[in-house]
Amino acid sequence: MATTVTHRRAATRRARRPAPGPPGLVPALTRLAIWAGAAAVLALWWRHTASVVGAAGWLTGAGRITGLLAGYACAVLLLLMARVPLLDRHVGSDRLARWHAMGGRYTVSLALAHTLLIIWGYALTSHTGVVDQTTTLVLHYPDLLKGTAGFLLLLATGVLSARVVRRRVSYETWHLLHLATYLAVFLVFGHQLSNGADFVGDRPAQLAWYALYGSVAALLLWFRFAVPVRRALRHRLRVLEVRPEAPGVVSVYVTGDRLEELSAEPGQFFRWRFLAPGLWRAANPYSLSAAAHPSYLRITVKAAGDHSAALARLAPGTRVLAEGPYGAFTARRRRAPKVLLLGGGVGITPLRALFETLPGDVTLIYRARRPEDLALRAELDHLAAARRAVVHYVVDEPAVYSSPLTPDALRRLVPDLAEREVYLCGPPGMTEAAKQALRGAGVPRHRVHHESFAF
């Protein structure tokens, strides 16, 4: 390869301004609904509390509040991960995952605070020690033994989800352990109604709590289980071909029946479960690396673990279960007439699909460690020539072709950068550096679209 930066002449005709995508109304309304629900939970405590007297009263009152909020937050966490199409398409899987992660930290903290405050407050009220009071609560209060088991499971899940721990476990292991959240919520639910002072004797409050959890459970069962099973039976997905693309990178072609009914958009992803030995237990997220074809779907995967590495050995005909399509990393987000696609490593996959389909003035920057790591390069060159677009390849080795990820370096490659909408996908370190560089180059935050599958 003579050069690692390829320029092609941009279109000289004026690009037609794309129709604006949907406004950010759904994310705003979702946040508003979450906070309104939290306010309603606080109102429930206020309605049942005539007065708060003494240290024991303040501690017990704080324990009741944190317990109510923790119970409500559990339902919200499950709803965020229910893969409801309205939320997924308009809020985005990446943003929902960030909300879920942040909410999970708050939920565990609230549950821990609730446990400690209630024990302390009850101990002061009954003039007993903390250990004796804990034993009494756990062994003699209805459903509290199950509630304790659920709390410990929730606490363990929170610890395993901490960033320092996640780096040491595979996605598949983390995903299986994270399923313990469902069991934890199930165990805790009965304790909330049988022991919660704000529910005992208040039938409307109990019915509202049943309605909240029942609705979330119905959404989970429908979108996480029923819909994937129905689609599996209807589309009968199976592996068509596995094709090498770069060192450690393969494309998997999946065929099936009535694929057009999936309505998959460029930039979206599916959660793929390959029914082969060692692979069927986990459903991993992989983006489409080309626009959906009536006869096949394609993903391009880099070997980054046991699961992804095993995809290179898939045999044609292997049955596939696919949940999706998911994600809002699509043309719907576009507002500006000019677009920059900025990708790193195997993060090129959703950008390659967008590069194929986005109309108007589109520039692509593709960063990789070595020239041979530039997966799908022949396809990108062909697309660039066909649409008279610009592609910049930047590699770290050899150093003569490298380019720092800084505002000045980006402006040298794309002089009108501040006027562009940016779609960004790549490894976490690269994307964080790119976000800072883009802001430094004058790109408004709301014009930078990023979707990550980091767990």
Residue 357's pLDDT is what? 93
Structure tokens at 298: 């394609």
Domain locations along the chain: 25-231, 236-326, 334-450
Residue 90's pLDDT is what? 83
Q: Domain spanning 334-450: which CATH class is it, in words?
A: alpha beta
Query: What DSSP letter does each residue of 357-394 carry, written as one string?
Result: H--SEEEEEEEESSGGG-TTHHHHHHHHHHHT-EEEEE
Residue 163's pLDDT is what? 66
d(CA 294, CA 259): 6
Residue 101's pLDDT is what? 85
Query: What DSSP letter does each residue of 87-121 carry, written as one string?
Result: HHHHT-HHHHHHHHHHHHHHHHHHHHHHHHHHHHH
Prediction pTM value: 0.78
Residue 401's pLDDT is what? 62
Pure H helices in 276-375: 306-310, 348-357
Place of tokens 């992804």: 308
Residue 454's pLDDT is what? 53
Place of tokens 């194929």: 356
H or E element in which residue 240 lies: strand 238-246
- Write the Ramachandran bin of 127: left for phi over 0, alpha for psi from -120 to 50, otherwise beta: left
The closest alpha carbon to 285, from 96, 94, 27, belongs to 94
Residue 24's pLDDT is what? 72
Structure tokens at 258: 């009535």
Question: Which distant-in-sequence residues (6+ apart) come within 8 Å of 271 by Cβ?
Answer: 283, 284, 285, 322, 323, 324, 326
Burial 71-88 (b: 16+ CB within 10 A, else e): bbbbbbbbbbbbbbeebb
Question: Which distant-in-sequence residues (6+ apart) come within 8 Å of 38 by Cβ?
Answer: 69, 72
Task: Please count the CA atoms within 13 angstroms of the CA of 15 that sit on its side-chain side.
Answer: 19
Structural contact between residues 355 and 380, judged by C-beta atoms closer than 8 angstroms: yes
Residue 13's pLDDT is what? 36
Residue 183's pLDDT is what? 87
Assign domain 236-326 one CATH number from 1.10.10.10, 2.40.30.10, 3.40.50.1000, 3.40.50.920. 2.40.30.10
d(CA 166, CA 264): 30
Q: What is the pLDDT along the chain (455 residues), one digit of tens a residue?
A: 333 444 444 333 333 434 444 447 888 999 999 999 999 999 999 998 888 889 999 999 999 999 999 999 999 999 998 989 888 888 888 788 889 888 989 999 999 999 999 999 999 999 999 999 999 988 888 888 888 988 998 888 877 777 666 666 666 666 667 777 888 889 898 888 888 888 988 899 999 999 999 999 999 999 988 998 898 899 999 999 999 998 889 999 999 999 999 999 999 999 999 999 888 888 888 999 999 999 999 999 998 777 788 899 999 999 999 998 988 899 988 888 999 999 998 899 999 999 999 999 999 999 998 888 899 999 999 999 998 999 999 988 776 667 788 999 999 999 999 999 999 999 888 999 999 999 999 999 889 998 765 54
Residue 138: other Cβ atoms inside 10 A: 14
State which amino acid sits at residue 86: L
Q: Is 258 exposed, middle or buried (0-12, 13-18, 19+ CB in 10 A)?
A: exposed
What is the torsion angle, in degrees rounded to the nearest 10, for the CA atoms of residue 256, residue 259, residue 265 and residue 267?
0
